[in-house]
Copies of this chain bind each other. A is one copy, B any other.
């Protein structure tokens, strides 16, 4: 961020009065530009004893398997965003969404939220960001080819909870320490 989105002037990085963190502050109009974590919302679509996975047509993790998910948009509920992403990535419709896993990923300033959801029908297919979409039974899950730790965790919780048919919301921090980068 180099210029003020309000007036076009240059920015300074400084701690505003009454604040404790460095922010981008406009040199001309004094607007403070906050940058906050983003929410990724998605579904664990279920059909009988199988779950729906998508293989990624985009980087990062091209070709690896994931659950349909993406950035929550302004003006939509978290659940509506999860349904929308499932429609976009798997051309699939889901119903009876229940919040299931919540992950905090501070190293990339993201919050992930997945819903358990029932697939409404078997009319699914790969959306633009997917190479393939398929239903997997537990014993066939490609554990070594899953795209992200949040996907692995959500699937592990699901198959464990399915043993007792009780599905509490699971919350976990995933804090991957990375070397400091200037950015």
Residues of A participating in the B interface, judged by any CB pair closer than 8 Å? 1-8, 10-11, 18, 21, 33-39, 71-80, 99, 102, 104, 106-107, 109, 111, 113, 128, 168-169, 171, 173, 175
Contacts and interface: CB of A to CB of B under 8 A. Distances in A.
Contact of A173 (B6, B37, B79, B102): B79
A171 to B, nearest CB: 4
Nearest to A168: B168
**What's the dominant secondary structure at chain A's contact region?**
loop
A158 to B, nearest CB: 16
A3 to B, nearest CB: 4
Nearest to A36: B38
Contact of A1 (B5, B73, B111, B113): B5
This protein's copies in its complex: 2
Contact of A77 (B3, B73, B74, B175): B175
Contacts of A37: 39, 72-74
List the 3 closest A-B pairs by CB distance, nearest first: A169-B169, A3-B8, A74-B109
B73 A21 contact: yes
Contacts of A6: 1-3
A4 B3 contact: yes
B169 A34 contact: no
A35 B5 contact: no
5 contacts: A3-B5, A8-B10, A37-B74, A39-B111, A77-B173
A2 B26 CA distance: 14
Contact of A106 (B33, B75, B113): B75
B104 A102 contact: no
Contacts of A71: 34, 36
